Amino acid sequence: MFTFANNIFNQFDSLMPKTGTKKQTGEESKYNKAEVLKDFQIACESREISLLGRREVLTGKAKFGIFGDGKELPQLAMAKVFREGDWRSGYYRDQTFMLAAGILTLEEFFAQLYGDTDQQINPGTVGRLMNNHFATRFIEENGEWMNQTKMKNSSADISPTAGQMPRLLGLAYASKFYRNNPDLKSFNQFSIDGNEVAFGTIGDSSTSEGIFWETMNAAGVLQVPMAISVWDDGFGISVPKEYQTIKGSISEALDGFKQTKDKPGFLIFKAKGWDYPELCRVYEEGIKICREKHIPIIFHITELTQPQGHSTSGSHERYKSPERLEWEKEFDGIQKMRKWILDEGIATNEEVLSIENIAAANAREARKNAWDNFMNPLKQMRDEFLKITDISTCNCSKTSRIQALKEDLAKIAEPIRKDTMSHAKRTLRLICNSCSNPENSLKTNVTKWFDTALSDNRERFSSNLICRDKFSAFNVEAIPPEYDKDSKSVPGREILRDNFNYIFKNNPRVIAFGEDVGKIGGVNQTYEGLQEKYGEIRIFDTGIREATILGQGIGLAMRGLRPIAEIQYFDYLLYALQVMSDDLATLTYRTKGGQKAPLIVSTRGHRLEGIWHSGSPLSMVINSIRGVHVLVPRNMTQAAGFYNTILASDDPALIIEPLNGYRLREKAPSNTGKYQIPIGVPEILKKGNDITLVTYGSCVRIAQEASEQLQDFGIDVELIDVQSLLPFDINHSILESLKKTNKIVFFDEDVPGGATAFMMQKVLEEQKGFYYLDAEPRTITAQEHRPAYSTDGDYFSNPNAEDVFDTIYNLMHDVNPLKYPKIF
Ligand SMILES: Cc1ncc(C[n+]2csc(CCOP(=O)(O)OP(=O)(O)O)c2C)c(N)n1
Ligand SMILES: [Mg+2]
């Protein structure tokens, strides 16, 4: 990509050739001709690909399209001040910025539109995301971090409106952390003195979302180098900004966020989206301050247009007035820039025309190349299949039907993988098993081809949900806790605190934050005294803002830090679940391993008290955050061991500390900070021969109590603590237990059909436990409703030891009524 001086004005730039003369006055223009014309060309190319892109969708070559037409000029200005080491967290209108910053090519734009799954050709999202969802790769194939300060970085986009905001906070906070933490000076592949700006972009209507405001407030409080641009085109699909924003203006609405003489805040710049020189000026001015002084900036860019409407799914004539449509034509940024170039005498009409023609030709060529690149392997796949399906030696009754299928497939002018796979499956059904050809080569060849194609496509579309490289938590060595002869029993929270102390002392990249985490060391004092020891920059209090605590963690983790983001109580994770589910959990998958965020989300659960402190809804997370480990330790030693394991890896995880375990005493291990509990490995807490009882977290204690009661009645329970729900029992140890007992019960305090149903599916279906059952498998859960207040409320809402006893006893009664007569 080209590189130009950062300023389009000649006074700052002696490298570029001087320009022509102003039409009206004859005086020499102060603008740099080459740079302006290069920008103009990018704008034109960007517009051309938007126009062509829409056509590709309407003619059926691509499935869906959303484009950046009408938003070209401010993005040129933003790209000028975007340096190596900087970060973008934006949305689907930013193609011009990506092109101008040199982190997207015209061909890549089309490759994404078609859904090309070749990483060389479509490197950002490798066919997994719809078009204009941008990402740069910052992880090597072997899992190592690339040098982020030598690249321009774009964190991977997501579709939910304003979903880019929480992460943006963390990307910006990382600069502050690196600048203010002398221990991290050597980590210069992530930051150079915190000079990196995190650029956000958002549509005017998406600012209506709560997480926009939460992020803005937090950025103002924290004073981080975050520069958010609002592309204001007056609409969110069909809904005008009067319905979206108070006073119909985001900069007016944000007026109270402004920095004043004696109070820190934001600097707010407002500029018209069609005024190229003014846009260049405000971005230059704003970003300089942001970078040097770490003051957050808002660029409210007004009067933008949307020449083709919102997306390929509809037409804007349905909701824009004729006057508005007319206005959009008149105020089209590119036309305005064109006129300005001519008025300024920067170039002649012929020169401008020639640029426009070149841009159109470049766009067309990129489209053609991208289409050929996309289609050739698909045709090749189809042709290979047709070749392999050689029926020349067949004479079965179904041969003609296979021939018909082949002809049908061959006729498809632009076959996709689905066409070939579907024909292959239907062909396989028709190949006879008793072929006269002794080797049945047709069956062998087609099956072999099919298996390979299936596994290729699994890799293509289903790999990288979690990393399996050398930094995977699966590769962390298991190190059990050790105990001295005279090791003392201490409250569980001290075990965690001492473990955190070791972590903070030995790993300068670890940072912990959340509500009440800093000054008082957490509501259960698991960080007691650590802020004084390691500084406010590493262990700190946040506002009550779960979504952005999560996002802050994601952004920090992307920039090489090891955040532990605390959500005070598990039930409050609901506020942050969108961020965790849409952003964190999909990150590795949606970039096919190109990005990662090794974030630990720490919380406490299983409290068994009240509707909003039940700590029980595990199915809420296991079904929405696949891609993140979900660890449910039964005590603080196990919890500490999980922190150590995850920190020894680069995987994201949710660790739910058992809330009723902070005061309970546990023996203090002697190898604090060093023991590592493996993920996905259950522990058998009590051996038994009659029945397998599977549970986790705080339910373990209840299960232990019930197992003792059952023992009195001659029922020998094998008690298994699964410890980790995601991943779940990777070695199938529960199956081994079931093979012995032939009876199984799954127990927790989630709703019926919640995490117990998940465990049951894993054991009975995935591990094939069904074949070893001698009795109906059961689940023990809470009621459908969340738990009522008080101890009685808890007793009648949540499962307790008696419930576990009754369920297991009754199950034994069903199997052997004589030995276990009915109790009630
Ligand atoms: C959470 C969520 N709600 C709704 C949508 C559907 N949606 C996609 S874009 C959009 C409008 C966004 O408008 P604006 O922020 O002004 O951006 P523009 O498209 O105008 O640039 C909507 C409602 C979504 N993607 N995410
Ligand atoms: Mg809009």
pLDDT tens by residue, 21-51: 666 566 777 899 999 999 999 999 999 999 9
* Count of alpha carbons within 13 angstroms of residue 118, beta-carbon side: 16
Query: Ligand nearest 66 Cα, by number?
Result: 1
> With bands split at pLDDT 50, 70 and 90, how would you rate the model's confidence at 340?
very high
What is the per-residue pLDDT across 465-493, written as a single tens digit (0 to 9) for each? Answer: 998 899 999 999 999 999 999 999 999 99
In the prediction, which pLDDT does 398 show? 86
CA nearest ligand 1 atom 18, residue: 203
> With bands split at pLDDT 50, 70 and 90, how would you rate the model's confidence at 600?
very high
pLDDT surpasses 50 at 448: yes
CA nearest ligand 1 atom 11, residue: 236
- Beta-ladder partners of 413: none
pTM of this structure: 0.96
Across the beta sheet with 717-721, what order do the strands follow?
Answer: 683-686, 717-721, 691-695, 744-747, 778-780
- Return the structure tokens found at 428: 């396989």
Alpha carbon distances (Å) from 189 to 30, 78, 193, 693, 789: 38, 23, 11, 49, 52
Dump the DSSP string for 378-422: HHHHHHHHHHH---TT--STTHHHHHHHHHHHHH-SS--HHHHHH
pLDDT surpasses 60 at 12: no
Please tell me the least confidently modeled range out of 12-21, 610-619, 732-741: 12-21
Does an H or E element contain 808, and which? helix 801-815
- What mean pLDDT is reported for the chain? 95
In the prediction, which pLDDT does 2 show? 32
Distance (Å, whole) CA 602 – CA 639? 10
What is the per-residue pLDDT across 196-225, written as a single tens digit (0 to 9) for each? Answer: 999 999 999 999 999 999 999 999 999 999
Phi, psi of 603 (to 5 degrees): -155, 180
> With bands split at pLDDT 50, 70 and 90, how would you rate the model's confidence at 392?
confident
- The answer to whether the beta carbons of residues 450 and 427 sit under 8 Å apart is no
pLDDT surpasses 50 at 617: yes
Distance (Å, whole) CA 83 – CA 73? 18
CA nearest ligand 1 atom 14, residue: 203
Q: Which ligand 1 atom minimizes the distance to the CA of 160?
A: 26
In the prediction, which pLDDT does 394 show? 79
Pocket test for ligand 1, best of 95, 207, 237 (most atoms within 8 A of CB): 237
Beta strands in 148-284 (DSSP E): 153-154, 198-203, 226-231, 235-236, 239-240, 267-272
> With bands split at pLDDT 50, 70 and 90, how would you rate the model's confidence at 397?
confident
What residues flank ligand 1, with Cβ below 6 Å?
A: 93, 159-161, 203-206, 231, 233, 235-237, 310
Phi, psi of 252 (to 5 degrees): -70, -40
What is the per-residue pLDDT across 350-364, written as a single tens digit (0 to 9) for each? Answer: 999 999 999 999 999
Residue 329 CB coordination number (10 Å) = 10
In the prediction, which pLDDT does 1 show? 33
What is the per-residue pLDDT across 72-121, written as a single tens digit (0 to 9) for each? Answer: 999 999 999 999 999 999 999 999 999 999 999 999 999 999 999 999 99
**For the residues 3-22, what does the mean pLDDT come to?**
48
Query: Ligand nearest 202 Cα, by number?
Result: 1
Residue 454 amino acid letter: L
Query: Ligand nearest 208 Cα, by number?
Result: 1
CA nearest ligand 1 atom 15, residue: 203
pLDDT surpasses 70 at 440: no
In the prediction, which pLDDT does 436 show? 62
Q: Which ligand 1 atom minimizes the distance to the CA of 206?
A: 15
Q: Find the 356 Cα to ligand 2 centroid distance in Å.
A: 27
